[in-house]
Chain A
Amino acid sequence: MRRMNRRLQKWTANLLELPQDVVYDLPRLTMIGDRQLYIENHRGVLHFSSDRLRLALSKGELEVTGEDLVIRTIWTEEVFIEGVIKHIEVR
């Protein structure tokens, strides 16, 4: 039943050309150069230091590495990071 549901979801998403992040609850990242990063749909901070930020996702986690990272603003599902961003990895 659950599989059927997921298939139906995928089929409708394809049919209606819905963005994947809405349908599958995936994170959406907006990056401005290497200095600002806006992440929607995270599930909390796992680790935060000035050179590394790890965020929990609905599935897996996101790791941002860089220098002088600062969480400008944070809400329960969104986070806005400033600093020199060097590397983003989704695991």
Chain B
Amino acid sequence: MKGTWMHWVKGIVTVRARGGELESFVNQALQGGLELWSIRRTSEGQLEFETTIGHFFRLRPYLKRTGCRIHVTDRNGLPFWGLKVRRRIFFGVGLLLFFVGLYLLSSLVWNVQVNGNIRISDEQILKAAEAEGIHQLQWSFKLDDPAVLSKRIAARLPDASWVGVEKKGTSIVINIVESTKPDQGPLLSPRHLIATDDAVITEIQADTGRPVVKRNMRVKKGDILISGWLGDETNMQTVVAKGKVRGIVWHEYDIVSPLTEKVKVYTGLSTTKWHVVAGGRALQVSGFGKTPYSEYEVVQREEQLTWHGIKLPFGRMKESVLEVRLDERTLTKEEAVTKGIQQAKADLMTKAGSDAVIVAEKLLHEKTDNGKVYLKVLLEVEQSIVTEMPIVSTQGE
């Protein structure tokens, strides 16, 4: 057994012994429980062996008994190192300081990184992290467990749905997953919904706000239908009233409908102009000269050359010039009335909205005078009757 590390810690002494009875010295020392190893004879007949420092000092009685003399040739191990270091104190202190410094500098947080944020600003996250003690030049042993830290930071950032804190050597990486938020609608100021016309309610649906009217109730123009005020006088809250209110509205129309009608008629006369078309440009090739008609219509027809189903950028264009004549036609009274009512309905639909339904129509008055029919029509329409009225704070804040 060569000196093990335990021997090295205790300190190994290499001893040379001479004279006397060397063999019996070895035997007695072993009997006494001393530990000797690597025993060898040198060329001069001396005995060389190794032992620990403690055992070295216990050799003396056996030496006396056997008449041997010893001297130490080599020293090895930790205690002797210690002596050496004590001699070079500044070197030892430097060595120690180096390791202490290395440990301390590597246990500092040198760098805080933030990943994965889009809407939340870096400053906001770093501020939350700072509140939990994560900042530059912080001792990393002062910080809590990353799992605990990430939970606490997540609690400080309501817009983040997940926060992960990761320690990578001397840097801390904060990973953020932002919560997705629905798009916010445009901001609306508190309002009531009021009636656009005098009407009888047929349907009311309040999404927000308090419905004030009921079905089959009569309302006047400007009456509140859905109120933006919630609660009583003491605890009042204003909201943006939303909803759908439909009602039956009466519209009165004065219509003047002529008994004659102008009609376009083709006379049958026409001329033709031919064009050659190449790449979007047309070149007239025939039918030159002034158009001989005072009233006419032009009809164009284009033909493109194709080859095996592929359209080529060449073709021809036929331009027909057709003569027209304006004739006047006399209408019967019934025809004039229907036409007038039709015009009124079309006008009404543009005003009342596309979802309006005409429930009933009533001809109140009819008069024929100067080649015209004068009508008075009452139309009963079911339509949306809401319009917005902003709530102005009356409490004078």
**Given A48-B47, A80-B1, are A74 and B26 also a contact pair (CB < 8 Å)?**
yes
Partner among B27, B41, B49 whose Cβ is within 8 Å of the Cβ of A44 = B27
Tell me whether A72 and B23 are in contact in the complex, defined as CB-CB below 8 angstroms, given that A48-B47, A80-B1 are known contacts.
Answer: no
A76 and B39 form a contact (CB under 8 A):
no
Q: Given A74-B26, A74-B36, A76-B31, is A48 in contact with B1 using a C-beta cutoff of 8 Å?
A: no
B residues in contact with A75, CB < 8 Å: 30
Q: Which residue of B lies closest to A50 (CB)?
A: B41
In the complex, the chain B residue whose C-beta lies closest to that of A80 is: B1
Q: Across the two chains, which residue of chain B brings its CB closest to A56?
A: B27
CA gap between A80 and B1 in the complex, in Å: 8
Q: Which of A44, A47, A49, A72 contacts B1 (CB 8 A)?
A: A72
Q: Does B40 contact A (CB under 8 A)?
A: yes
When chains A and B are docked, how far (Å) is the Cα of A75 from the Cα of B31?
Answer: 8
Question: Is A73 part of the contact surface with B, judged by Cβ < 8 Å?
Answer: yes
| Contact residues of B: prevailing secondary structure | mixed
Q: Mark A40-54, 1 if CB is under 8 A from B, else 0.
A: 000011111110000
Q: For the complex, is A71 an interface residue (Cβ under 8 Å from B)? A: yes
Kindly state the separation between the CA atoms of A44 and B22 in the bound complex, as whole angstroms. 12
By beta carbon, the residue of chain B nearest A45 is B23
**Cβ-defined contact, B1 with A46, below 8 A:** no
Interface presence of A70 (CB below 8 A): yes
The reply to whether the CB of B38 lies closer than 8 angstroms to some CB of chain A is yes
Residues on B with C-beta less than 8 A from A44 are: 23-24, 27, 30
B37 at the binding interface (Cβ < 8 Å): yes
Residues A71 and B39 in contact, CB atoms below 8 Å apart:
yes
Count A-B contacts at CB 8 Å.
46
Q: What is the minimal beta-carbon distance from B58 to any residue of chain A, in angstroms?
A: 15
A73 pairs with B37, CB closer than 8 A: yes
A73 touches B1 (CB 8 A): yes
On chain A, which size bracket covers the interface?
10 to 19
A5 to chain B, nearest CB (A): 28
Whole-angstrom distance between the Cβ of B37 and the nearest chain A Cβ: 5
With the chains together, A49 CA to B39 CA distance in Å? 10
How many angstroms from the CA of A70 to the CA of B38 in the assembled complex?
Answer: 6
Give bound CA distance, A48 to B42, whole Å: 11
Contact with A along B1-35 (1 / 0, CB 8 A): 11000000000000000000011101100110000
Q: Is A45 within 8 A of B1, CB to CB?
A: no
Closest to B28 in A: A44
What residue in chain A is nearest B2 (Cβ atoms)? A72
Q: Which residues of B contact A69 (CB under 8 A)?
A: 40-41
Question: Scoring B residues 296 to 329 as 1 if CB is less than 8 Å from chain A, else 0, what string do you get?
Answer: 0000000000000000000000000000000000
Shortest CB-to-CB span from A68 to chain B, Å, is 8
Inter-chain contact B30/A76, CB cutoff 8 Å = yes
Which residues does chain A contribute within 8 Å of B24, judged by CB atoms?
44
CA distance A74 to B43 in the complex (A): 21
Q: A47-B23, A48-B26 given as contacts; is B1 within 8 A of A71 (CB)?
A: no
Contact partner of B27 (CB less than 8 A), chosen from A45, A50, A72, A80, is A45
A-B contact pairs, 7 of them (CB 8 A): A46-B23, A48-B41, A49-B41, A69-B40, A73-B1, A74-B26, A74-B37
Interface residues of B (CB under 8 A from A): 1-2, 22-24, 26-27, 30-31, 36-41, 43, 45, 47, 49
